[in-house]
Amino acid sequence: SAPSLDDVYLGSKTEENQPIFRNDQEKYLLNTGSCDEVEKWLLSHLPTLKKEDVTKYCSCLDEDGFDSVLMLEVLEEIDLSFMKKAHRRFLMKKIQLTKPCTDPPSLEG
């Protein structure tokens, strides 16, 4: 379950009257319920991820606009620089295996 406002809000506000949170991941978890779709997608590709990695990866993906399975379909390796190297490699291998080949035929004979 998502943390409560009291768990993550430090009690201070910015000049724009926005609450200050302990970190971006906690702010993300509090402000969105849409991580479920991305989390399920991540775990379907990387089933052994630790909860803290899932939380971080969901937050980072969401910040870059990858907030739905539809958006994740255009994910490229360069978009995953925040991931641990082994997770990134394994995920890219899984994605490449499930994508249909869209390369144009070679003209070399």
Rg value, the chain, Cα: 18
Residue range 15-65, pLDDT digits in tens: 555 555 555 555 544 454 567 899 999 999 999 999 999 999 999 999 999
Q: What is the mean pLDDT of residues 88-107?
A: 78
More confident: 80 or 106: 80
Residue 77 has pLDDT above 50, yes or no: yes
How far out from the chain centre does Cα 14 lie?
26
Using CB atoms within 10 A of its CB, is residue 39 exposed (0-12), middle (13-18) or buried (19+)? middle
